[in-house]
Amino acid sequence: MRKLIYVLLIFSLILGLFAACFSYTRQANELVQQLSQLETFTFTAEGELRFADGIDTGHTPLRYVMEGTRSVGTGQLTATITYTDLAARPLFPLAIIETGGVAYAQFAPLFQYLMDLEYADYDANAVADAFGGSPYLALPSLDLTNLLLDIPALLDTLDADTLQDALTEDNDVYTLRLTGTTLSNAPSLGELTRPLGIFFELGALVGDFDSSFMTSGAPYTLHLRFSHDEETDVFHTHLTLTAPGFLTLTASVTYRESKPVPILPPELTVDMAEIQSVMAEYHVDMERVAMIEGSDFEFDTDLPELHMVNHPLSTDLLEPFEMEIGGESFYVSVMADAVTTAMRSSVYSVSSAMTLHYTALEARAARETMIPFILTALDVEDIDAENFTRSVVRGNAHDTAAVTALHFDDNLVGRVLHLYVLQNIDGTDEALFLRVVVIMDHMTRQGREVLERLGFYIGLDFEGYLEWAEETDTEAEEE
C-alpha cells in the first residue's frame, strides 16, 4: 500500500511538472499571439556582430540602431537605420520606406561612407551634391519583411516537443534555446542580420563588397528571450546567436502598439540608370581630384582677368576665326599667315614655328580641368623628351581661369614650349582651352611678335614664358 502511495505521488509530481511546462508553453504562445496581432507598432532595434580574431570584415559596419514604424495590414514601413562602429560611434544613417509594395532607400549617406573609404587619401566630394539633394532609390526587389525577427514564424517552425524542450520561463520572461539539429529550422544568419545585409545590397551598386565572411558551416546556438511589460504594454525580445570560433550575434527589439499613419512615397527619387550615370561621373571627378592632389604642380592665385575671345583685332599678325562655344558663336584669334582649320569643337592654326589649338570643354574649376588635360589628354609621359620643366599653375581667385607652361629641352623637333590657357566663358557652361606649341629653334621675330600680340589681347605675358624657357635652356647647358 505504501509503495502504491509513493508511485501515485511521483506520478502526480510528473503530471504537475508536465502541466507547468504546458502552462508556460501555452502562455508563451499566447504572448507571441498578442505580438503577432499588432496591426501597427513602433519599434526600436539594436544589433551587433562580433567575429573571432583573424576574420577580416574590412570596413563593414557591424553594429546598428534602428527606429521605425510598421503597419502590418497595409504593408507599410518607415525606419532609419544608424550604422555605428563597435564603440557605438555613428558611421552613417540609412532611411528606408516601404509603401505601395515598393521599398525605397535614401542611399546618399551610405554611398558617402563608401566613397570616404575609397578616397581616404583625399576629401571625397559630397555624394548628395552630385544628386542635387539626398534622394531615395526605388528598389522593388529589396525585401524588408525580415527586417525584424519574426518570432511567431520562428515558433511555427518548431514542433510541440521541440518547443517544450527548448522553452523555459522565469518571472514571465521566456527563453528559447536552440542548438544542434533543433536549429536546422531556425532563421538563417542572413535573416537574423537583415539590417546589416541591406548595407551589402546597396553597397553593391557602387562597388564589389565581399560578404562571404557572413556565412559559415559552424554549428550555431541560439538563445531568444521575449517578454511583455503589461504596465507599459511594450514587448521585449533579445536574441543571442553564437558560433564558437566564428561569431557572436546579439539583437534586441522593443515593440509598442501605435496608431496607423499613412506613409507616402518620397518626393525626391532616382532610378538605377541615373544612379549609375551620376556615380560614374562622380568617380571621374574623384579620379581628377586624386590626379591633381597627387601631382607636384605648384599653384598661385595671382592671375588677372583674361580675355580669350572677341578681340578687337587691328593688326595683320592675327585675324578672327569664328568658333562655337556652348551653342553660341565667338571669335578667337588665329595667325594671319597660318593654315587654320576647324574640327568639331576645336580650331587649329598651324605655322612652321607655332601652333594654336583652341578647344571647347565642359566648364568646371579651372585648375581641375587644366592639370588632367596636361597629364592625360596630352599624355606628357609619352612625349619624346629626356627632360621637361613645369611652370607654376596660375589661377584667378574664382578658379575660373588658369595658365601654365611646359618646356621640353629635347623633343622630337628640338626645344619646345607648351603654353596652356583656360578660361570659363561667361554665359555658357563651357570653357575655352588654348594650347600654344612653340618650336623654339624655328621661332622668328615675326613669330615672337604674334605671340606677344596674342598675349596682349588675352592679358598674359607670353614673352615672359618664352624668356623663362630660354633661361631654362641656358641653365641646362651650364650644368
What string of DSSP letters covers 389-413? Answer: EEPPEEE-TTSSEEEEEEEEEEETT
Can you tell me the distance from the alpha carbon of 90 to that of 72, in angstroms, rounded to the nearest whole number?
29
Regarding whether 390 and 263 lie in a shared domain, the answer is: no
Mean pLDDT throughout 306-312?
92
Q: How many domains does the structure of the chain reveal? A: 2
Q: What percentage of the chain reaches a pLDDT higher than 70?
A: 85
- Signed CA dihedral, 127, 129, 132, 133: sign only: positive
CATH number at residue 318: 3.40.1000
Q: What are phi and psi of 361, to 5 degrees?
A: -130, 160
* Per-residue pLDDT, 448: 92
Mean pLDDT throughout 381-401?
75
- 3-class SS of residue 1: coil
Task: Choose one of 258, 285, 312: the last residue of a domain.
Answer: 285
* Per-residue pLDDT, 4: 32
Is 9 contained in some domain? no
* Per-residue pLDDT, 139: 85
Regarding whether 466 and 320 lie in a shared domain, the answer is: yes
Mean pLDDT throughout 218-230?
83
In degrees, rounded to 5, the angle at the alpha carbon of residue 54 between the alpha carbons of residues 50 and 55 is: 55
Task: Choose one of 231, 254, 285: the last residue of a domain.
Answer: 285
Is 23 contained in some domain? no
Regarding whether 329 and 197 lie in a shared domain, the answer is: no
Is 328 contained in some domain? yes
Q: Which of 50, 39, 470 is nearest to 259 (CA)?
A: 39
* Per-residue pLDDT, 12: 30
Q: Which of 4-13, 176-185, 245-254 has the highest mean pLDDT?
A: 245-254
Regarding whether 411 and 344 lie in a shared domain, the answer is: yes
Q: What is the pLDDT of residues 75-127, one digit of tens each?
A: 899 999 999 988 888 999 999 999 988 999 999 999 999 999 989 888 899 99
| pLDDT above 50 (res 450) | yes
Is 240 contained in some domain? yes
- Helix residue spans in 342-444 (DSSP H): 366-372
Mean pLDDT throughout 315-324?
90
Can you tell me the distance from the alpha carbon of 221 to that of 240, in angstroms, rounded to the nearest whole number?
8
Regarding whether 308 and 246 lie in a shared domain, the answer is: no
Is 64 contained in some domain? yes
Regarding whether 466 and 378 lie in a shared domain, the answer is: yes
Is 290 contained in some domain? no
Q: Which three cell numbers stand for residue 441?
A: 629653334
467 is in which domain, residue-wise? 297-478
- Signed CA dihedral, 153, 158, 163, 167: sign only: negative
Q: 106 has which bridge partners?
A: 95
Residue by residue, DSSP assigns 425-449 as PTTSSEEEEEEEEEEGGG--HHHHH
- CA separation (Å) from 265 to 103, 144, 185? 9, 16, 36
* Per-residue pLDDT, 364: 82
HEC-encoded secondary structure of 163-185: HHHHEEEECCEEEEEEEHHHHHH
Q: What is the pLDDT of residues 42-64, one digit of tens each?
A: 999 999 988 888 888 778 888 99
* Per-residue pLDDT, 411: 59
Regarding whether 335 and 250 lie in a shared domain, the answer is: no
Can you tell me the distance from the alpha carbon of 252 to that of 239, in angstroms, rounded to the nearest whole number?
6
Can you tell me the distance from the alpha carbon of 55 to that of 57, in angstroms, rounded to the nearest whole number?
6
Is 3 contained in some domain? no
Regarding whether 265 and 155 lie in a shared domain, the answer is: yes
Can you tell me the distance from the alpha carbon of 277 to that of 297, in angstroms, rounded to the nearest whole number?
31
Task: Choose one of 256, 285, 314: the last residue of a domain.
Answer: 285
- Output 299 or 269, whichever has higher pLDDT: 269
- Binned at pLDDT 50, 70 and 90, residue 349 comes out as very high
Q: Which three cell numbers stand for residue 336?
A: 594671319
Q: What are phi and psi of 158, to 5 degrees?
A: -105, 140
Is 79 contained in some domain? yes
| pLDDT above 70 (res 217) | no
Regarding whether 223 and 111 lie in a shared domain, the answer is: yes
- Signed CA dihedral, 194, 199, 202, 207: sign only: negative
Q: What percentage of the chain reaches a pLDDT higher than 90?
A: 36
Across the chain, mean pLDDT equals 82
Q: Which of 360, 151, 323 is nearest to 253 (CA)?
A: 151
Regarding whether 186 and 44 lie in a shared domain, the answer is: yes
CATH number at residue 120: 2.50.20
Q: What is the pLDDT of residues 245-254, one digit of tens each?
A: 888 889 899 9
Regarding whether 62 and 205 lie in a shared domain, the answer is: yes
